[in-house]
Chains A and B, each alone.
Chain A
Amino acid sequence: MDKLLSLLSENPRLTNSQLSVMLDTTEEEVERRIADFEKNSVICGYSSVINWDKVPGSEKVTALIELKVTPRRDSGYEAVADEILSFPEVESMYLMSGGYDLAVYVTGKTFQDIAMFVATRLAPIDSVISTATHFMLKKYKENGVRLEGETPDERSPLF
């Protein structure tokens, strides 16, 4: 695995100078490689894992919506996927194997927001055959990060 990418994916706040020390290279080289990764969409963005439930007034509701869609003759799943991912409510989206086609993660302020979004925006799309909405009750882990209850360090300092 590329060491620079694996460092960035786990520690996105490291500076280029810190990265260069660990990788035995120059700051300029790190900067150039990151720019290349960004240009080629290897690094697609930077985001923080935030537990919004802990920010008063910013609580969010998230749902996983299973969509069954009819692929279009000319463009397969791509055109309908493109139509759906353009909605700002859609946080993540994946084409799936198995019982349904698209897994769409939607966030809103309330349950009602999401219900309305499904009813008025997703369901009416021509290719959409059916929807099944699953509301998330609790987040335990996101993007590899445990959101609560960090395991305490049980190591003894004596050795």
Chain B
Amino acid sequence: MIDYNSVFRDTAREIKPSGIRKFFDIAAEMDDIISLSVGEPDFLTPWHIRKAAIQTLEKGKTRYSANKGMSELCEEITKYYSRRFSLEYDPVTEAMVTVGGSEAIDIAIRTLVNSGDEVIIPEPCFVCYSPIAQLMGGVCVPIETRAEDDFKLTAEQLRAAITPKTKLLILPYPNNPTGAVMRAADLEAVAEVLRGTDIMVLSDEIYAELTYGGEQHVSIASIDGMRERTIVVNGFSKAYSMTGWRLGFVLAPSPVIEIMNKIHQYAIMCSPTTSQYAAIEALRNGDEGVADMRNDYDMRRKFIVNGFREMGFECMLPGGAFYVFPCIKSSGLSSAEFCTRLILFHKVAIVPGDAFGACGEGFVRVSYAYSLSHITEALTRIKRFVDDDLGLSLPQK
């Protein structure tokens, strides 16, 4: 009998399974669960995008594409970043298409991180950065962003975390799970710390289209001196409701793209062709659909924040993504206890904040990628939990 413990790479065995997954094994066993837990849009991919993909299938356009993606798509991507975020990239040498933002993150980290290099990761954040960095032998340096800073990364915190071994800063804004955004002034302060160093930045901008209140997303690459050190990662999943199409992209200086594309070509060959055709249509004619979805999210965002505040929880009005991150410390329960009791006794699934980093303890992630009637029902159940089970008389804010 083979001893599996002896065959695995140490780091592969040691990285932790996602905390979100662990929690949802409970949910999978139960009926009548009402969930506010998912991280993908409830809207379907707009029909014009699906239709464009179907047409290419009908014509039999199902070959491999160029490794770095179709030139037509790379061109649309660079035009899109110029139009929406005032950033200019060369479609031939500074853009590439990946299998979702996830692959882009993976190969960016594989391109940069040597054994022993330090990777600074502001937490709470999406769960994939640390494990990938660890697989490369990197050392993760988490920064605990704070509710009183609206979960933004501050220049002081960054400065304190930097050592001679620092290789990479992950900048995951708009943020999953907190909904925090970094405005131009916040980014300028961060840039001031980085200028003159060799520290690279991975700017995960997957929620860039989902910012609210009129202020648009700003990419750190557009801040003075930052373009040369920034790898912009984005994709089609969140903005265009194209999660299952698995399509993302990278914009970065040409030497970076060259190495990333080399890894991509050995690991992936090329992104799915049908998805690439769909993405061309999305970028050419999708702006209006994105605006409609953003409008809907915006109203739900205010609705759900108000719901939690009325129950007495502190809850930041998030500037982006589609999550709220209320503080549940006043319940006297840990995040895991709060979520477990809520799902077992009131059948509402939300995610404990510590699944996104230790400093998420005391918070829960609640998704509003659901219809208003669904959100209303879930909030009613949560209120019953607070009133009856917790017996709380939380202060009314």
Residues of A within 8 A of B (CB): 3, 7, 10-11, 14, 18, 21-24, 153, 155-159
Contact = CB atoms under 8 A, between A and B. Distances in A.
Interface stretch (B33-41, B217-225, B259-267): B33-41
B373 A11 contact: yes
A7 B299 contact: yes
Nearest to B102: A159
Nearest to A14: B372
Interface stretch (B6-14, B18-26, B59-67): B18-26
A159 B39 contact: yes
Contacts of B373: 11
Contacts of B21: 158
Nearest to B299: A22
Contacts of A7: 299, 372
B27 interface: yes
B303 A18 contact: yes
Given A11-B372, A21-B303, A153 B18 contact: no
A157 B27 contact: yes
9 contacts: A18-B303, A21-B302, A21-B303, A21-B306, A22-B299, A23-B299, A153-B38, A155-B40, A158-B39
A157 B20 contact: yes
A157 B38 contact: yes
State the main secondary structure of chain B at its contact with A. helix
A94 B24 CA distance: 51
A155 B303 contact: no
Nearest to B176: A159
A106 to B, nearest CB: 31
A157 B299 CA distance: 22
B232 interface: no
B299 A156 contact: no
Chain B CB within 10 Å — which of A10, A156, A158 has the most? Answer: A158
Nearest to B372: A11
B15 to A, nearest CB: 16
- Size category of the B interface is 20 to 34
B349 interface: yes
A26 B25 CA distance: 43
Interface string B329-359: 0000000000000000000010100000000
Contact of B37 (A3, A10, A11, A157): A157
B299 A3 contact: yes
Chain A CB within 10 Å — which of B18, B306, B351 has the most? Answer: B306
B380 to A, nearest CB: 12
Chain B CB within 10 Å — which of A18, A21, A155 has the most? Answer: A155
Contacts of A159: 20, 38-40, 243
A9 B38 CA distance: 26
A155 B39 CA distance: 9
A36 to B, nearest CB: 21
A22 B304 CA distance: 9
Contacts of B20: 157-159
Contacts of A155: 38, 40, 42
A22 B39 CA distance: 22
Interface in B340-397: 349, 351, 372-373
Contacts of A18: 303, 306
B124 to A, nearest CB: 15
A22 B368 CA distance: 13
